[in-house]
Amino acid sequence: MTLSPASPAGGQRAAADALAAGRPGRGAAVELRHVRKRYGAGRDSTTVVDDLSLTVAAGELCVLVGPSGCGKTTTLRMINRLVEPTAGQVLIDGRDVAAEEVTALRRRIGYVIQQTGLFPHQTIAANVATVPRLLGWPAARIAARVDELLTLVGLDPARVRQRYPAELSGGERQRVGVARAMAAEPPVLLMDEPFGAVDPIVRARLQDEMQRLHRALGTTIVFVTHDVDEAIKLGDRVAVLQEGGRLAQYARPAELLARPASEFVARFVGADRALKHLALLTVADASLADGPTVRDGQPLGTTATIAPGDPYVLAVDAEGRPLRWVGRDAAGAPVGSSTAPAEPPLVVLRRGITLRDALAEILGSPAERGVVVDDAGRYLGLLTVEAIAVALRAAETAP
Amino acid sequence: MTPGEPLVSWDWVFSHLGDIGQRVGEHLVLTGLAVAIGLLLSIGPGIWIARHPRYYGPVLGFAGVLYTIPSLALFAVLVPITGLSLVTAEIGLVSYTLLFLIRNVVEGLGAVPAEVRDAALGMGYTSRQLLWQVELPLALPAIVAGLRIATVSTIGLTTVTALIGQGGLGYFILDGLQRFFSTPLIVGAVLSVALAVAADGALVLVQRWAMPWARQRA
């Protein structure tokens, strides 16, 4: 994910990002006040959403997550009034949505759904142009905006503009869906399981790109999913809903993992929540051990600080970049001439990777430690399993 | 028809070319009028039924009953009221198109994917914009399919309208039967079949032209 191939499309995308970043902070706050949705009347009625109150700050990405039947989609649809609440209020930037003309309201709110809902009889360009057309933008402005948006979501306008949705792959269609939702620069974007129908590899890439877009555009996003991992990965805040449409917990992902508010939340986030929490922390969050190093080609014996019992010493080059582990039983002999058996392969970790990935790498290595380097590849210190455990405990008890 | 006489007298055909052209023209007008009126009458009820599915059964049942009335019987009932007129002919012909057209309008609208409708409403389409810009265009394949069936069956039925003096290719068939002369009978029958095939082909072309998205997918 960190590698992005240098390509003309990549350059265009960077330009589009820069353009988008030039107008940040356009998000609007979304507030739900004691919202309730009940279908039917009297004894036969079912409560789908029950007295739900939550606030999404402007520019935040809020994920509504929960098992099926928890009312998360209904909640989302009450924001753009595809469902009218039985009681309570929904406010966008402090204004009650019920007081607004419904089509005008919806044209200001982006809407992305799992099955994309692209118009099969219209070209990709016409699909993306939907809301600007409804708003009566001039044709030239629409055409320019369409190309800008397609580039922004990583599609080549010249290739896809005149195609029909059926000619694109599932992942490409989903990108078009996102471009269409953002066409008129809505301050709020609603997304209902947008990546639920694409394969895991494409989903991970779309998630990464959406995070990038969200950071660049500053749009407020309300995102529905049933996938806890997706919620934790994407959400600035996560609202866990339980059956009957009650809010079980509303918190930042780390808080949710460290301190689930109830048995339900603990079970829903899963028994492996410690591992999930590690995915939110990076190597930079852990404290590193100061392992001894030796310059390549120099005698090992000159390194006075080798701790007894430590079987290996790290060899580094002139710039301080780690080269390999050197066995201690070769002490006294120059590094590189060692005949010691089987020196373990080097596990090199960049500071930015997650502790979860780091843990997996370390456990897979006979040396049982990772060599942490900075962005230039220079040695910083050693990371051990114990240090990861300490970092996790610190994060879980942090306020 | 006397034995030994050829089935088709080409002399008759060539000497009646003007006549034949006129009857083909009448046939096309009678059919075109019936299908056009039928379509106009079907779209409203079709849309309404698509929104209120519980009326689907009763309305289709009624159109089905209309369809089963023999055309001769229908004309016999209508002639005392509307006379030996174009109106009488068209009432009959239009009635027979309704079954196919209403059914296909309803099914075409019903086949519009729910998520497409949901997305359109979610983006701020009014219900009128939804109908004209999304639902009807997407229902077009089914509607044109209905038009094809209605057109072909109406071309066949129009041969009967000669009985109430409204012309068309039925005139030749009637003429041939009355005079025991096979040539006009065969000319009338063959041309009406040819007309049906040609009209169906033309509608297939219309269908392709009107639906580029379906063409490119195939």
Give domain limits for chain B.
10-217
Query: In chain A, where does DSSP find H-type helix?
Result: 8-21, 72-79, 102-107, 124-128, 130-134, 139-152, 157-160, 170-181, 200-217, 228-234, 253-258, 263-269, 273-278, 355-363, 385-397
Mean pLDDT (chain A, rounded):
85
**Phi-psi region at A193: left, alpha or beta (left = phi > 0; alpha = psi -120 to 50):** left
Phi, psi of A229 (to 5 degrees): -65, -40
Q: Which pLDDT does position B4 carry in this prediction?
A: 62
CB A37 within 8 A of CB A47: yes
Q: With the C-alpha atoms ordered A173, A177, A182, A187, is the resulting torsion angle positive or negative?
A: negative
Angle between helical axes of B136-158 and B17-51 (0-180°, round to 10): 140
CA angle, A85 then B134 then A171, to 5°: 80
Average pLDDT of the residues in B14-39: 91
Inter-chain touch B138–A134, beta carbons under 8 Å: no
**pLDDT number for residue A1:** 38
pLDDT at B86 over 50: yes
Global ipTM: 0.80
Whether B124 has its CB under 8 Å from any CB of chain A: the answer is yes
Question: Is residue A14 predicted with pLDDT exceeding 70?
Answer: no
- Cα separation, A176 vs A189, in Å, equals 14
Task: Pick the most confident of A189-193, A252-256, A381-385.
Answer: A189-193
Quick check: A103 contacting B, CB < 8 Å? yes
Are B115 and A113 a contacting pair at CB < 8 A? yes
Of A111, A166, A167, the CB nearest to B119: A111
| Fold: same for A8-271 and A284-397 | no
| pLDDT value of position B218 | 40
The pLDDT > 70 percentage for chain B reads: 96
- pLDDT, tens digit, for every residue of B90-148? 998 999 899 999 999 999 999 999 999 999 999 999 999 999 999 999 999 899 999 99
The number of angstroms, rounded, from the C-alpha of A221 to the middle of its chain's C-alpha atoms is 12
Question: Considering the entire predicted model, what is its pTM?
Answer: 0.79
Class of residue A309 by CB neighbours under 10 A (exposed 0-12, middle 13-18, buried 19+): exposed
What residue of B is the nearest CA neighbor of A127?
Answer: B120
Please give the pLDDT value at position A13: 53
Q: How far is residue B111's CA from residue B100's CA, in Å, rounded to a whole number?
A: 16
Q: Which two tokens stand for residue A312?
A: 């290996």
What pLDDT score does B213 carry?
A: 81
Q: Quick one: closest CA in B to A182, which residue?
A: B123
| Domain boundary assignment for chain A | 8-271, 284-397
- Whole-number Å distance between alpha carbons of A212 and B81: 75
Q: Is the pLDDT of residue A329 over 50?
A: yes
Nearest to B123 among A107, A120, A121 (CB): A107
The yes-or-no verdict on residue A213 having pLDDT over 80 is: yes
Contact state of A134 with B129 under an 8 Å Cβ cutoff:
yes
Q: Which tokens is B101 given? A: 């057209």
The residue ranking higher by pLDDT, A344 or A391, is A391
Residue A64 pLDDT class (50, 70, 90 cuts) = very high
Q: Which CATH number fits domain B10-217: 1.10.3720.10, 2.40.50.140, 3.50.50.60, 1.10.1060.10?
A: 1.10.3720.10
What is the C-alpha separation between A9 and A153, in angstroms, rounded?
11
Asked if pLDDT for residue A23 goes beyond 70, the answer is no
Q: A73, A121, A124, A137: which to substitute to probe chain B, counting the most B Cβ within 10 Å?
A: A121
Name the CA radius of gyration of chain B, rounded: 21
pLDDT at A117 over 80: yes
Q: Quote the CA–CA distance of B92 and B69 in Å, as a whole number.
A: 9
**Whole-number Å distance between alpha carbons of A112 and A130:** 13
For residues A338 and A327, the answer to whether their CB atoms sit within 8 Å is yes
Q: What is the pLDDT of residues A337-381, one digit of tens each?
A: 445 555 778 889 998 899 999 999 888 887 788 899 988 888 988
Predicted local confidence at residue A301, as pLDDT: 57
- In whole angstroms, what separates CA A39 from the centre of its chain? 34
Determine the pLDDT at residue A344.
76
The superfamily in CATH containing domain A284-397 is CBS-domain (3.10.580.10)
Cα A263 to Cα A248: distance, rounded to the nearest angstrom: 10
Chain A residue numbers with beta carbons less than 8 Å from the beta carbon of B132 are none
Q: What is the pLDDT of residue A146?
A: 96
pLDDT of residue B163: 83
Chain A residues whose CB is inside 8 A of the B116 CB are 117-120
Q: Which residues of A touch B115 (CB under 8 A)?
A: 113-117
Calpha distance B171→B177 (Å, rounded): 10
pLDDT at A5 over 70: no
Structure token pair of residue A156:
């080549």
CB A157 within 8 A of CB A8: no
**B216 contact residues in A (CB cutoff 8 A):** 164, 166-167
- Using an 8 Å CB-CB cutoff, list chain B residues near A122: 213
Nearest-10 Cα torsion for A316, A322, A325, A326 = -10
* Higher-pLDDT residue of A142, A68: A142
Residue B31's Cβ-side half-sphere holds a number of Cα atoms within 13 Å equal to: 28
Statement: residue A305 has pLDDT above 60: no
Q: Which amino acid is at A378?
A: R
- CATH code, residues A8-271: 3.40.50.300
Interface test with A, best of B116, B123, B132, B208 (most A CBs within 10 A): B123
**Cα–Cα distance for residue pair A267/B61, rounded to 1 Å:** 55
Q: Are strands A87-92 and A30-39 parallel, antiparallel or unpaired?
A: antiparallel
Task: Tell if the CB–CB gap between A122 and B213 is shorter than 8 Å.
Answer: yes
Is residue B217 pLDDT above 60, yes or no? no
Average confidence (pLDDT) over A249-278: 90
